Amino acid sequence: MESKLMLYNTMTRRKEEFVPYNPPHVGMYVCGPTVYGDPHLGHARPAITFDLLFRYLRSLDYKVRYVRNITDVGHLEHDADEGEDKISKKARLEKLEPMEVAHYYTERYHAAMTELGVLSPSIEPHASGHIIEQIELVKKILDEGFAYESNGSVYFDVEKYNAAHRYGKLSGRNLDDIVANTRALDGQDDKRHSYDFALWKKAAPEHIMRWPSPWSDGFPGWHMECTAMSTKYLGEKFDIHGGGMDLMFPHHECEIAQSTAAHGTDSARYWVHNNMVTINGQKMGKSLGNFITLEELFTGKHALLEQAYSPMTIRFFILQAQYRSTLDFSNEALQAAAKGLDRLMKGVETLGKLKASATSSVDINDLWSRYTEAMNDDLNSPIVISVLFDWVRIINQINDGAQTISESDLAELRRMVNVIVFDVLGLRDEKSAGAAGNDKVTPLVEMLLEMRAKAKAEKNWALSDEIRDKLTAIGIRVKDRKDGCDWEIE
């Protein structure tokens, strides 16, 4: 059995054993959202992927400092150097302060993440709160000779950097490919080369978000914030840098160039990227009419959706794919995920009610060893889920008397299932009384069912039936068994 966590490192293009610089401490930085619109499906996958990694590392007793930023300045419409700031634009159109826009959508993002069971990171720094650190970093890169000032803006000198280091090593591109894929300079640019990127931009007169700097009143380039904030909170070298595959170029490539230029070293040891989501086989995009926000998914209010899908259905669906494979959303796939999740949660519920025997006919170590093997193989969550389904079958066999489990094995099995399902996969039972925010339901139902059992013992069938029917009417289904009864909330 593989006992060490193997993570796929985008930088080396292979799975590598995860060994932190300073165990048990782990520093992890993940690029967070740009807060200018409602959180959507595209936000769910990276958040859940790195939440799974965060939770798994913690379950292995690592002390993880997880930093996930909020981009509230500097992300221009065309990503790096072109167009209006996304937040400024929204603020201008809606006649709001840019920070009102950022605050509103940050809260929306947090609320959606809580619904999806995504844990809050250890630190969530905002780009606008780290302008001084970003200016200091620009100065450092200028001092090292890898940037130039031009008309109040500062640009990274990619050609000079490429001669000393290699620009494009993460994405596997070389400068010629990059030139072929960038727009030619139109003579109005302050840059020397089309592939140079802004470290600091002079603000046009109408630009609202601006700060003083040695070069101009302006704002930092988008890539600066992650280098400045990861260095501030995790140091010049840290363990894991994560994000969606779409950020690999140019964003992460530029981050690597910036930190290498400033500190002489690439920041992260393991670069981890989740793959993208598609909808009915298509890339998600506003112009394609298939742009779905998380709220629309949770409520079912979107032309492409046949029904509402609960947050845990979305989470379970995302976990059913390994994070490096593409994931296609469709009504059929989500409905299948909802059924699967239901089957898993029913298994967990049955586990809670199992009765122990003198001996075990099942080997509970099978669950733990297969779970560990799958998670250690680059977080292979779909295999973990299929192992859990094997165990749901076994739990049902024990419940039906076809297998037996001893008292100590039963306690251990319950502990394992709790760790895997709730702590590491981060699922919750949305149908249980506790999940509905009312933990008084269970004792109340149990009390009514005790009264019903008494009525039955006294052959008062009318009362017994009345209790069952009234419970059914409020959505609590009672199933009689040989030795008592089961109940569930529909």
Would you tell me which residues interact with Zn ion (CB under 5 A)?
31, 226
DSSP string, 248-260: IIIIIHHHHHHHH
Min separation Cβ 204 and Zn ion, Å: 24
Secondary structure letter of residue 423 according to DSSP? I
E strands, 23-105, in order: 25-30, 63-68
Given a contact cutoff of 8 angstroms between Cβ atoms, the answer to whether 69 and 126 are in contact is yes
Query: In the bound complex, what is the minimum distance in angstroms from residue 80's beta carbon to Zn ion?
Result: 12
Nearest approach in angstroms of CB 154 to Zn ion is 19
Give the residue with the Cβ less far from Zn ion, 229 or 364: 229
Residue 108 or 252 with smaller CB distance to Zn ion: 252
Of 230 and 275, the one with the shorter C-beta distance to Zn ion is 230
Give min distance, CB of 434 to Zn ion, in A: 37
Q: Do the Cβ atoms of 241 and 259 come closer than 8 Å? A: no
Q: Round to whole Å and give the CA distance between 270 and 12.
A: 9
Closer to Zn ion at the Cβ: 244 or 311?
244
| DSSP sequence for 261-304 | HHHSS-SEEEEEEEPPEEETTEE--GGGT---BHHHHHHT-STT
DSSP letters, 318-347, are HHTS-TTS-EEE-HHHHHHHHHHHHHHHHH
Which C-beta is closer to Zn ion: that of 68 or that of 315?
68
Question: β-strand 25-30 against 63-68: which pairing, if any?
Answer: parallel
Between 247 and 319, whose beta carbon lies closer to Zn ion?
247
In this structure, are residues 271 and 50 in contact, taking their beta carbons and an 8 Å threshold?
A: no
* Nearest distance from C-beta of residue 227 to Zn ion, angstroms: 8
67 phi/psi in degrees, rounded to 5: -110, 120
Structural contact between residues 421 and 349, judged by C-beta atoms closer than 8 angstroms: no
In angstroms, what is the minimal distance from the CB of 119 to Zn ion? 20
For Zn ion, the closer of residues 227 and 275 by Cβ is 227
Asked if 84 and 206 count as a contact pair (C-beta separation under 8 A), the reply is: no
Contact between 186 and 81 under an 8 Å Cβ cutoff? The reply is no
Residue 322's CB is within 10 A of a number of other CB atoms, namely 19
CB nearer to Zn ion: pick between 98 and 242: 242
In the complex, the smallest distance separating the C-beta of residue 39 from Zn ion, rounded to whole angstroms, is: 17
Q: How far is the CB of 256 from Zn ion (least distance, A)?
A: 11
